[in-house]
């Protein structure tokens, strides 16, 4: 017993214990516990978590209502494979979700993660249309399982060495107003031309099962497309009987100031992928669709052992209550607009800030080499370090890791937000001095 390593010793052997693809990331902070917007390091310091557990902890770490709901459920039944055992929580959750999902989605398949939701959506789309093609979009991120990585292109590193991928996946450009060579006005036209070309040269529209996209790209750089592109996709999909799949794994559950980003844009998907914020850190994902569509996914054509775990579903029910009762959608809109104004001021004063953008509390700052639009990942690394030293945990995104996302838990107060933005500004100014 006595030769069991201490936590410190385990940390020093992290690289021998965990696969590098898991362990070699930023910043590997040894952590004691977490509460609200804070994580408490073993160094005795408190950090503001502006990654919110990769966007999962929308109502804050260890929200007491979510913890209590999970604990109560755990004491009753931990595991209840759906279809064999039918506890109340997943049924109640399906009913509740049906009240808030866009596109009239009122039937659900529960899994455990975002990638599983994407896998399910691809399978469902192919199954119900009898078509093979999936059109996904450059810069998109949909997860790491084989189907999900086959539609992921935010970094080629995620794909390298893992092929061959799922056949019949095609890519078109995603409109990126800041980076498109055609500018903010031309980027929609460019992106739609790619689809026309695919239809003309590569795959007939009647062979395409679905368009699969994030309504705002997350990992790919917090890219906000012009609404008209989403409207056009909906129209093309309707014209050709193609299904529109929105991957709202990162944009969902209040992050954008609405339940889902689809509601920000007023464009309805046929199939919705949900995970992350749904259960505030408990593993849960879902594929959602209208009953006429989902109801055609016959018995045993898809399945899972753990999906719709009752503890995760009980946590998700508490998340819904907290978002409503603490008025977090409105808070995301109000605080997001305030933060964006402050970040705009930073853009005006810092030569390494190329663009700032956001919807609700899904915010990002893109870094460039001064006087150009060239991506500046070195500056990003510098800002991340400077911010962490000052107690603010941030994480990058974007094809070149040239962008920093700011996604605090939605329970953040105005005062906490101001403190974080002041730290962020100091970190950017310090990075500008030392590594522009």
Length of the chain: 436
Q: Considering the complex, what minimum distance in angstroms separates the CB of residue 377 from ligand PLP?
A: 19
Q: Considering the complex, what minimum distance in angstroms separates the CB of residue 173 from ligand PLP?
A: 18
The torsion angles phi and psi of 200, rounded to 5 degrees, stand at -80, -40
Q: Considering the complex, what minimum distance in angstroms separates the CB of residue 348 from ligand PLP?
A: 30
Strands 208-213 and 133-137: parallel
- For ligand PLP, which is the closer residue by CB, 214 or 432? 214
DSSP structure class, residue 128:
H
Q: How far apart are CA 379 and CA 386, in angstroms?
A: 10
Q: Considering the complex, what minimum distance in angstroms separates the CB of residue 40 from ligand PLP?
A: 24
- For ligand PLP, which is the closer residue by CB, 151 or 209? 151
Q: Considering the complex, what minimum distance in angstroms separates the CB of residue 397 from ligand PLP?
A: 9
Catalytic positions: 141, 247, 276
Q: How far apart are CA 233 and CA 242, in angstroms?
A: 10
3-state class of 36 per DSSP?
strand
Q: Considering the complex, what minimum distance in angstroms separates the CB of residue 56 from ligand PLP?
A: 8
User: Interface with ligand PLP by CB under 6 A: which residues?
Assistant: 54, 113-115, 118, 141-143, 214, 218-219, 247, 249-250, 275
Taking the CA atoms of 105, 109, 111 and 116 in sequence, report the sign of the dihedral they define: negative
Q: How far apart are CA 273 and CA 252, in angstroms?
A: 9
Q: Considering the complex, what minimum distance in angstroms separates the CB of residue 142 from ligand PLP?
A: 5
Kindly tell me the burial class for residue 103, based on how many C-beta atoms sit within 10 Å of its own C-beta (0-12, 13-18, 19 or more). buried
Please choose, from the candidates 330, 54, 331, 356, the residue with its C-alpha nearest in 3D space to the C-alpha of residue 218. Answer: 54
Span between the terminal Cα atoms of the chain, in Å: 51
- Please give the radius of gyration of the chain, using alpha carbons only, rounded to the nearest integer: 22
- For ligand PLP, which is the closer residue by CB, 214 or 355? 214
Kindly tell me the burial class for residue 416, based on how many C-beta atoms sit within 10 Å of its own C-beta (0-12, 13-18, 19 or more). middle
CA 62 to chain centre: 20
Say what the alpha-carbon torsion angle 117, 123, 125, 128 is, to the nearest 10 degrees: -130
Please report which helix (H) or strand (E) contains residue 234, including its range.
helix 227-240
């Amino acid at each position: 017993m006595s030769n069991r390593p201490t936590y410190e010793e385990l940390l020093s052997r992290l690289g021998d214990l965990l696969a590098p693809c898991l362990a070699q990331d930023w910043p590997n902070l040894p952590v004691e516990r977490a509460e609200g917007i804070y994580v408490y390091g073993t160094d005795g310091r408190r950090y503001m978590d502006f990654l919110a557990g990769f966007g999962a902890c929308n109502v804050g770490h260890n929200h007491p209502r979510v913890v209590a709901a999970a604990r109560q459920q755990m004491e009753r039944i931990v595991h209840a494979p759906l279809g064999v055992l039918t506890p109340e929580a997943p049924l109640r959750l399906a009913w509740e979700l049906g009240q808030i999902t866009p596109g009239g989605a009122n039937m659900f398949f529960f899994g455990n993660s975002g990638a599983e939701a994407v896998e399910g959506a691809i399978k469902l789309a192919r199954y119900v249309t009898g078509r093979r093609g999936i059109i996904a979009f450059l810069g998109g991120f949909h997860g790491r399982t084989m189907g999900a990585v086959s539609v992921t292109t935010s970094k080629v590193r995620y794909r390298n060495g893992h092929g061959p991928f799922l056949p019949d996946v095609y890519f078109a450009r995603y409109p990126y107003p800041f980076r498109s060579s055609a500018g903010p006005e031309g980027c929609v036209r460019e992106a739609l031309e790619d689809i026309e070309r695919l239809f003309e040269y590569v795959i007939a529209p009647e062979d395409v099962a679905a368009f699969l996209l994030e309504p705002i790209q997350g990992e790919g750089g917090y890219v906000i497309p012009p609404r008209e592109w989403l409207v056009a996709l909906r129209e093309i999909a309707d014209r050709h009987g193609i299904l529109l799949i929105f991957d709202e794994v990162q944009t969902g559950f209040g992050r954008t100031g609405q339940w889902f980003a689809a509601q920000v844009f007023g464009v309805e998907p046929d199939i919705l992928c949900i995970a992350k914020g749904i259960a505030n850190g408990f593993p849960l994902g879902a594929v959602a669709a209208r009953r006429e569509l989902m109801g055609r996914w016959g018995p045993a054509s898809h399945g899972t052992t753990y999906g719709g775990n009752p503890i995760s579903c009980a946590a998700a029910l508490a998340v819904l209550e907290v978002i409503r009762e603490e008025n977090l959608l409105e808070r995301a809109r109000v605080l997001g607009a305030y933060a964006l104004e402050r970040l705009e001021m930073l853009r005006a004063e810092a030569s390494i800030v190329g663009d700032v953008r956001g919807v609700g509390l899904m915010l990002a700052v893109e870094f460039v080499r001064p006087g150009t639009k060239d991506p500046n990942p070195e500056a990003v690394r510098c800002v991340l370090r400077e911010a962490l030293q000052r107690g603010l945990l941030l994480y990058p995104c974007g094809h070149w890791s040239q962008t920093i996302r700011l996604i605090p838990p939605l329970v953040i107060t105005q005062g906490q937000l101001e403190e974080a933005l002041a730290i962020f500004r100091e970190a950017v100014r310090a990075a500008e001095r030392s590594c522009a």
